[in-house]
Amino acid sequence: MEKGDASLTKRMKRTVAMFATTAAIAVLAASPAVRAQTDASLVPAAPAPAENGLSEGVVAIVNDNVISTYDLRQRVLYLMVTAGVRPTPENIPQVQQEALRALIDERIEIQEIKREEKEQKFEILATDDDVNHEIARMAQGNRMTADQLLEALSKVGVGADTLREQIRAEMSWQRWIQGRYGGSRMKIGQDQVNAVIRSLEAEASKPQYQVSEIFIDSTRAGGIGPATDGAKQLVTQMQQGAPFAAVARQFSSAPTAANGGDAGWESESELAPEVRDAITQIRVGQLSAPIVAHDGVYIILVRDKRSGSDSVVVQLKQAAISLPTDASPAQIDAAQAKLIKLKSQITSCASVEADAAKIDGVVAGDLGQADVKDLAPSFQEAIKPLKVDEVSDPVRTGAGLHLIILCGKHQSGLTIPSRDEIESRIEDQQLSMISKRYLRDLRSSATIETR
């Protein structure tokens, strides 16, 4: 399996498991009164499907595929329960709209996957065994059996098929996007990774914010106005106790929705301009009011803040020739000639010891990490112009002549993700954009009739 394939498999399992864990917890906490209130106000009443699979009402037709009033009521109830949102006359229209959009998108995704299966002649759609395995994992995460989890959902009116079909659609779509665009097919250049690292290092001296986010896409919501109204309703629900992470998983259009909206630590330059302008006024633990951006509306939760650091830590190696303090000019010149020759041969930090071993009298070693201000003044000057893997000119000290190799550099207190982690993050972002564009194009060409 390619590294990218393994990465997405891990993310897909995490995504499904995380929303389902929330579902199980919320279901166990829900009361029958919530179900009764929700059932009474979702959509016009419709009976459960009869044995022949038909239902009384139709709310939408997607390329000849019917979405029934029963489907919609089930999904609205599911969204309410998993997000911990209590139904009110104000928020029911928003949740109903979100539920219908999700059902339409899932129908379109499944139709596209079935078309590709027929054309490519291999299976993409998640099987019943795949879905059952995920349900078992969810239940295990909540110290329940699969039957207990489904029973808990049933007690608040959510049928097992509602959970199964959402899992099937999500697993299948992510599998298809990854198989077609991810893994070895998506080339993440080292220049992209280096650019992220440089950006993180440059921002380390500035304040950083640990944030969670919910993004309401104005295109999906039907415009900035409806998106803003929806965001206001979500803020009200969270102020009344709905968990931020649960709401983010069900209502946010940001890639971070899979992680409950957790965006991690971010500097101001990484934030959307509108969020950047507002975040300095938000206290730790405070939920923002809706923040209107050009393409949607943000809700931000600031979980922590930290000041930047102007202290720079470097990782160094050296190649040195020992010389007495009273060494003659000839000895110094000879040592310098050796080190200058060695400097031209060193290609990276990793090769220092091997390259130095080829020249008599040169000893190489790792100097470890040090704060720049703690280095000897001559070493500070020597490394000042260097980039990572570059080598200084020979430096004279009381112990001899030294080449200093810069192996790493970062702000004190800054934790730089590994290169693999950065690659995975870039891949996540690119696959998310590809998925959105793909689905947008499918939606534009689909025949969708709502009633």
> What are the extents of the domains in the chain?
3-188, 205-309, 312-411
CA–CA distance, 250 with 257 (Å, rounded to integer):
7
- Site of tokens 């040195």: 320
Tokens of 57: 């009402």
Say if 205-309 and 312-411 have the same CATH topology.
Answer: yes
CA–CA separation, 155 and 24 (whole Å): 12
* Residue type at position 219: T
Question: What is the spatial distance between Cα 316 and Cα 367, in angstroms, rounded to a whole number?
Answer: 5
The CA distance from 52 to 50, in Å, is 5
How big is the chain by its Cα radius of gyration, in Å? Answer: 29
Q: Measure CA 18 to chain center.
A: 13
| Partners of residue 420 on adjacent β-strands | none
Q: Is 31 helix (H, G, I), strand (E, B) or coil?
A: coil
Residue 254's nearest CA partner among 319, 298, 190 is 298
What pLDDT score was predicted for residue 21?
41
User: H-type helices in 51-145, by residue range?
Assistant: 69-83, 92-120, 128-141
What local confidence, expressed as pLDDT, does residue 256 receive? 87
Tokens of 326: 């009273």
Query: What's the pLDDT score for residue 414?
Result: 62
Instruction: For domain 3-188, give the fold.
Output: Triger factor/SurA peptide-binding fold (1.10.4030)
Q: What are phi and psi of 262, to 5 degrees?
A: -70, 110
Q: Is 324 helix (H, G, I), strand (E, B) or coil?
A: coil
Does the model's pTM come out above 0.75? Answer: no
CATH 3.10.50.40 assigned to domain 205-309? The reply is: yes
Per-residue pLDDT of the chain (451 residues; tens, 9 = 90+): 344 444 444 444 434 433 444 443 444 444 444 454 545 455 544 444 544 444 468 999 999 999 999 999 999 998 888 888 888 888 888 889 889 999 999 999 999 999 999 998 889 999 999 999 999 988 887 788 999 989 988 988 899 999 999 999 999 999 999 989 987 778 888 889 888 888 877 777 778 889 999 999 988 888 899 999 999 999 999 998 889 999 998 899 888 888 899 998 888 878 888 998 899 889 899 999 999 998 899 999 999 988 766 678 899 999 999 999 899 999 999 999 999 999 999 989 999 999 999 999 999 999 888 888 889 899 999 999 999 999 999 999 988 999 999 998 877 666 677 888 888 888 888 888 899 899 999 999 999 999 8
Q: Which class would CATH give 312-411? A: alpha beta
